[in-house]
Amino acid sequence: MITRYTNPKMANIWDEKNRYKQMLLVEILAAEAMAELKIIPMNSLKTIKKNAKININRIKEIENIVKHDVIAFLSAVVETIGEDGRFLHLGMTSSDILDTATAVQLRQSTKLLISEMKKLSVILSNLAVKYKMTPIIGRTHGMHAEPMTFGLKVASWYCDILRALDRLKLTYKTISYGKISGAVGTIAHLNPEVEIYVCRKLHLKVEPVSTQVIPRDRHSIYISTLAHIGTSLERIATEVRHLQRTEVAEIEEPFIKGQKGSSAMPHKRNPIIAENICGLARLLRGYTITAMENISLWHERDISHSSNERVILPDASIILHYMIVRIQNLLLGLTVNTDNMQLNLNKTKDIIFSGTILLTLVQKGISREFAYQIVQSATFYARDMKISFENACLQSKDIKKYLTVQEIQYACDIKSQFKNINYIFKRVFNE
């Protein structure tokens, strides 16, 4: 991933240094298991652990000749060990190292994502509670619908992130599998205890049937989960973009001192953070197709997955981490314009209470069809005559025939819409 969208914490997990570090750890743990099983001399193990070093430049030099990254890695490491290096990689195949080391990186990556998602959930929780009773117009089809609260809108985002966290935790279990089963996965040249030992030390489970590789549905689930989370962040960002529009201006993402919004128009304060998140979410979703196509490999393995996984696994991880941190900053610096929220509520006056009047009439025993007809007539009359909906109802002989003045006034009071907000918050936040 390009530096612009990379946070060092996640980049360090996926850089060459950590990748080779985990590969060497897998080899050393396998040697430890073999030494305990008396397959290799204990003194040789001590030499391996003492002398084994990683020289990335040397690995690349060898790979330029052998055209095989794992052989190049092993050859470079063996050079640092000496004669006892012959006991490294005994009975193993390339995927034993690669897939098991990748599982460790995926676990590290997922842990970091879970940590950042938890921070995001706290930010959303605080925002929702702060604006729990702050009125805002609810919109459907982009049009004014009924009043709600800004806190309730944020609470919906919060629940989305909690679901995403659950999926991420499940994914953590899904990708926590390793394999030391040799060529085509038969464990023909290994003691099964080696696989058990290595996986236990790395906090991995043993892949039940690994062929020569760990089945790629695990990796596909990882990528799909990240794409789902990216889409959840896009949902928040899309709403920020809508609510920041000039005609709405109910919220605004951070705009720091010295920042410029447009090269041509000095007045612009564009929602660039939210737009950036939406754009990257599209990129994440694109990776899911590649990850799914990696599931169907030829026979026990091929390496058609290998080339693209070198891109999609680190890139998807780095992108999502960047997105989570960025949306945290957006929400922490969010400007909430409650005055504009009220102004927008007032734009359609009180016709937004038409649904309440409708239900009140139905409860009086009127057919829904007739109730809808007379309420709709009152809303049109209010709009045409530029009077309040409450007054239109009071002037409607059909409505006044069934409802008292007090019932009409209560139905057109915004407080009637919020009587169960506390119940919802108690359900979500255990208040």
Catalytic residue among 68, 203, 262, 304: 262
**Entry field: residues in the chain:** 431
What's the CA gap between 175 and 100, in Å, rounded? Answer: 10
Backbone φ and ψ for 139, nearest 5 degrees, come out as -125, 135
Identify whether the C-beta of residue 408 lies closer than 8 Å to the C-beta of residue 393: yes
What's the CA gap between 112 and 67, in Å, rounded? Answer: 33
DSSP-derived 3-state class of residue 429? helix
Identify whether the C-beta of residue 394 lies closer than 8 Å to the C-beta of residue 388: no
R_g of the chain, CA atoms, integer Å:
30
Q: Does residue 262 have an active-site annotation?
A: yes
Identify whether the C-beta of residue 108 lies closer than 8 Å to the C-beta of residue 135: no
Identify whether the C-beta of residue 129 lies closer than 8 Å to the C-beta of residue 429: yes
What the block records as the tokens of 230 is 């990216």
* Listed residue (339, 70, 66, 121) closest to 236, CA to CA: 121
Catalytic residue among 141, 267, 299, 307: 141
Q: Where are the alpha helices (DSSP H) in 135-269?
A: 150-174, 192-201, 217-244
What's the CA gap between 299 and 285, in Å, rounded? Answer: 28
Tell me which residues are annotated as active site: 141, 262
